[in-house]
Every structure is written in C-alpha cells, then in structure tokens.
Amino acid sequence: MRSWALAERIIAALVLVLLTPLLVVIAAAVRVSSAGPVVFRQVRVGRDGRPFEIYKFRTMVDGADRVAANVSPAGDRRITWVGRALRASYFDELPQLANVVKGDMSLVGPRPETPEFVALYDATERRVLEVRPGLVGPSTLAFMDEAAMLAEAEDAESFYRTFVVHERVRLDLGYLEERSVAFDLRLLLRQAAAILVHH
C-alpha cells in the first residue's frame, strides 16, 4: 500500500493541475457570493489521532460556525447560493486534493471528523484512526443524503451525535478489513457514478 499512497499523491497533484481552470472559476464565484475567505479550513482528526486542517471551498457565510451547531441540514440558511450549487455537485470538496498531496489524507478511507465528534468514539470506533482519512469512503457513499436526513430530524445536532457519527464509523470500520488498491479503485468509481446520479 505504500506505493499506492505515493501514487495517490501524484494522482491528486495531477488532477489539481488539470482542474486549475475550474478551480479558478469556483474561487471567483465563492468570492463574489459573500464576504469571507474562498477556502474554508477546519481542524479534523487524522491518522493516529493527529489533527490537521481540511480544505474546502467555503459554502456558508463567513463565521457560520459561530451562528449554529457544526451540522448542516438541508435548507440551512447559512449556506450561500453558490454554496448550494457546490454542495450539490460536490465541487466544494475539490480542495481536499491538496490534503492528499500533503499526505494528510488519502483518496479513499474513513471520512475525518472534527475533534468534538471524535471524542464520542468508543475504543473500537477509534480504530478508524489507524489509517489516513479519505476524500471518499464507504460512509461517504452511504450518507450522500445526510443533509436531508438531518432536516427531517427533530434535533439535527442530537441526531448527528447519537446516530450519524456512530453509523458512519461502523461503515468505515469495514473499510479497514477490505482495503486494497483494487477496493479503493472500486470505491472511487462507485462514488463518481453516485455523484452523477445524485446530481
């Protein structure tokens, strides 16, 4: 898997170069949609419990994290008009390719959580921290409609803490047993297909 890890970084770097025109257009759209930085940075917990900054195109108004909880149900008024389009297309996640190049993340793996939610993991669940988190993974596929699920919950934050966090970890723990280059490639293809259908 070490050679695959290096290959992932090279692939991510090449994709970033190829997507530069698109990234510039998205950056400009984010800039004009509302005041604030183009790239949203947030501390997530990575391999072996080490914190790192994850990168995303900003989809919410600046300072949204100070307005409400760190969960975002469908219809969240903090999301900008450009942000809605980026989330629907998953283009807001593209800056995470830079996280892959840096070695903070892999193309495929458990999705990284924020420290406040990782603190809820039990000893078994913390096994997901044995590998680098991924841009996509089993829980990403399973929770593509997470925003809609949260919108239907009576208390979105409580539902996320008591169900979503643990169900996502349960799915990602399965990745630890199946992980291989072939499995990663299949997940990438499934995610790409799912985004096209979902969009």
pLDDT band for position 99 (cuts 50, 70, 90)? very high
pLDDT exceeds 90 at position 21? yes
pLDDT of 49-86, one tens digit each?
Answer: 999 999 999 999 988 877 667 888 888 889 999 999 99
Q: Which residue range forms the structural domain that includes residue 48?
A: 2-198
pLDDT band for position 95 (cuts 50, 70, 90)? very high
Q: How many folded domains does the chain comprise?
A: 1
pLDDT of 121-152, one tens digit each?
Answer: 999 999 999 999 999 999 999 998 899 999 99
Candidates 104, 125, 130; CA nearest to 49 is: 130
Give the residue ranges of DSSP H helices in 34-180: 81-89, 96-102, 115-118, 138-142, 146-152, 156-159, 165-178
Question: Does pTM surpass 0.85?
Answer: yes
